[in-house]
């Protein structure tokens, strides 16, 4: 993966999207939208990230398994897939504008005479004003928007599973550190008893140590309850109840071993499925304007009927074919109002698309700064733990030599406990910011595995 780079290029993309509104240009054409397709291959198509499975950078097989289970069985994601399928099916409801119907009937009289009739009717609605084509473009854009929303739902699942797992391992680590601290306090209490026999300890020392042990005992049940709650949350994300979820093997805190792949900022922003969904919603809104405008003009259709009448051995034929012109409904006020409404909806969709891009730029910049800060904090926390452990070893040697009091040892142990907790928090923050940054970049959803819808 490449090293992080400065993300100044998104500002240029934001300017391209915001300036049309500032200059008074109405309803610019959505990027990547071509006739009959909301997205096409070519220079305007979104470039997918290369670090699709970014969670594997944390080198945790348990997390990998949880992510795979969630992407397969998460109920919210299943609903998003169903909505995508419904939007794709809606495209086929528009049809080609041509319909053929047939009918056959027969009669038998008491005298034995029979009559059989067969009729076929053709109705072809012409589209000189592009109304049907506009509805088809809108339906295609809405279907692709539903696919982008599915990808966004997948990113949301990745965010919840990854952050939930990071928080679970953090709580387990904190609980383990508190138990280690309690064990050290017990060892220190045993040391006090030995020093007391030598007359080198005060009555205040054991009271402080027992107070700290009681404080840890009061904290541990809450930590264990939090771990149980985190497990239940992760089970729900995989579509299971906590009782039916497989137990998680013990693991340490996940820490990413590689930096996020920032790539080219403009392409990364285009890779955000929520931005694509907003752009496609705008494309559909523009197409709906064309469909509403077509309703202002007459409708032209070609139709015909072919019939056969078989009665008493005689064959009768009938054929009718010709155009039909349907004038728009009067008064035209409601139709013009619908056109104005579609214009307003498209303007709103364009503004929402612009706002989402600007917000995405801010989110990426903020997440990148937070991730870098978390990394610096983790380095300092690791150094603090190392120095505190060295101080504890030196203090124990001085205690054995009788050069310092037990109070000094308790103070150094407190410093070590605080440093270890700080490192656990820093490890959590690095992992969380790594997850958040990748999600803000739009990495991880399996958009490339879904074939595009074409008409």
271 falls within a domain: yes
Asked if the model's pLDDT at residue 424 lies above 50, the reply is yes
Given a contact cutoff of 8 angstroms between Cβ atoms, the answer to whether 439 and 394 are in contact is no
Average pLDDT, the chain: 79
Q: How confident is the model at residue 241 (pLDDT cuts 50, 70, 90)?
A: confident
**Is 408 domain-assigned?**
yes
In a domain, 280, yes or no: yes
What's the pLDDT band for 142 if we cut at 50, 70, 90?
Answer: very high
> What is the reported pLDDT for 453?
41
Q: Indicate if the pLDDT at residue 82 is higher than 80.
A: yes
When pLDDT is averaged across residues 133-148 and rounded to a whole number, the result is 91
Q: pLDDT per residue over 89-125, tens digit each?
A: 998 888 776 667 767 666 666 666 667 667 777 666 6
**CB within 8 A of 369, min separation 6: which ones?**
none
- Evaluate the CA torsion angle 23, 25, 30, 32 in order and state its sign: negative
Of all helices (H) and strands (E), which one includes residue 132? Answer: helix 131-197
Whether 50 maps to a domain, the answer reads yes
pLDDT value of position 432: 96
Mean pLDDT comparison of 17-21, 197-201, 336-340, 384-388, highest-scoring range: 384-388
**Beta pairing, strands 314-326 & 114-125:** unpaired
Paired residues of 100 in beta bridges: 122
Structural domain includes residue 273: yes
* For the chain, percent of residues with pLDDT exceeding 70: 72
Kindly state the tokens that stand for 210.
Answer: 């027992």
Q: How many CB atoms lie within 10 A of CB 402?
A: 10
pLDDT of residue 140: 93
Q: Work out the pLDDT band at 12, boundaries 50, 70, 90.
A: very low
pLDDT tens column, 366-390: 998 999 999 999 999 999 999 999 9
Rounded Cα gap, residues 91 and 112, in angstroms: 51
How far the first Cα of the chain sits from its last, in Å, is 37
Q: Domain range spanning residue 444?
A: 9-96+132-294+336-449
* Residue 351 within any structural domain of the chain: yes
pTM of the model: 0.78
Strand 299-311 versus strand 314-326 pairing type: antiparallel
Does the residue 304 lie in any domain? no
In the chain, the number of structural domains is 1
CATH number of the domain enclosing 405:
1.20.1600.10
Q: Establish whether the linkage from the previous residue to 399 is cis, with ω within 30° of 0.
A: no
What integer is the mean pLDDT of 409-438? 93
Residue at 122 is within a domain: no
């Amino acid at each position: 993966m490449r090293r992080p780079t400065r993300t100044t290029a998104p500002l240029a993309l934001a300017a391209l999207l915001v300036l049309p509104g500032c200059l008074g240009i109405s309803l610019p054409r959505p990027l990547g939208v071509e006739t009959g397709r909301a997205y096409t291959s070519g220079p305007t198509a979104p470039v997918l990230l290369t670090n699709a499975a970014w969670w594997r950078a944390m080198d945790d097989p348990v997390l990998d398994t949880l992510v795979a289970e969630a992407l397969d069985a998460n109920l919210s994601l299943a609903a998003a897939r169903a909505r995508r399928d419904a939007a794709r099916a809606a495209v086929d409801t528009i049809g080609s504008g041509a319909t053929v119907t047939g009918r056959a009937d027969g009669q038998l009289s008491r005298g034995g005479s029979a009559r059989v009739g067969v009729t076929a009717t053709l109705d072809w609605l012409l589209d000189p004003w592009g109304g049907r084509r506009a509805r088809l473009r809108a339906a295609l854009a809405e279907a692709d928007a539903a696919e982008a929303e599915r990808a966004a739902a997948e990113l949301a699942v990745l965010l919840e599973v990854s952050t939930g797992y990071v928080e679970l391992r953090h709580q387990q680590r904190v609980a383990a550190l508190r138990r280690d601290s309690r064990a050290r306090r017990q060892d220190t209490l045993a040391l006090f008893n030995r020093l007391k026999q030598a007359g080198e300890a005060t009555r205040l020392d054991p009271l402080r140590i027992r107070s700290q042990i009681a404080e840890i005992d009061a904290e541990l049940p809450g930590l264990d309850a939090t771990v149980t709650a985190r497990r239940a949350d992760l089970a729900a994300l995989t579509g299971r109840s906590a009782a039916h979820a497989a137990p998680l093997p013990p693991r340490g805190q996940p820490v990413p071993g590689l930096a996020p792949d920032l790539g080219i900022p403009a392409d990364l922003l285009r890779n955000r499925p929520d931005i694509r969904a907003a752009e496609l919603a705008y494309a559909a809104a523009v197409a709906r304007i064309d469909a509403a405008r077509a309703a202002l003009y007459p409708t032209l259709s070609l139709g015909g009927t072919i019939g056969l009448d078989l009665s008493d051995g005689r064959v009768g034929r009938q054929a009718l074919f010709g155009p039909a012109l349907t004038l728009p409904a009067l008064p035209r006020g409601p139709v013009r109002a619908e056109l104005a409404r579609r214009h307003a909806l498209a303007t709103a969709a364009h503004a929402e698309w612009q706002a989402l891009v600007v917000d995405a730029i801010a989110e990426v910049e903020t997440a990148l700064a937070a991730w870098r800060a978390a990394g610096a904090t983790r380095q300092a926390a690791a150094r603090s733990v190392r120095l505190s452990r060295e101080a504890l070893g030196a203090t124990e040697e001085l205690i054995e030599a009788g050069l310092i009091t037990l109070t000094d040892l308790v103070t150094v142990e407190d410093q070590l406990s605080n440093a270890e907790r700080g490192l656990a928090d820093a490890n959590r923050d690095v992992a969380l910011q790594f997850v958040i940054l990748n999600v803000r970049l739009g990495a991880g959803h399996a958009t490339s595995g879904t074939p595009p819808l074409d008409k």
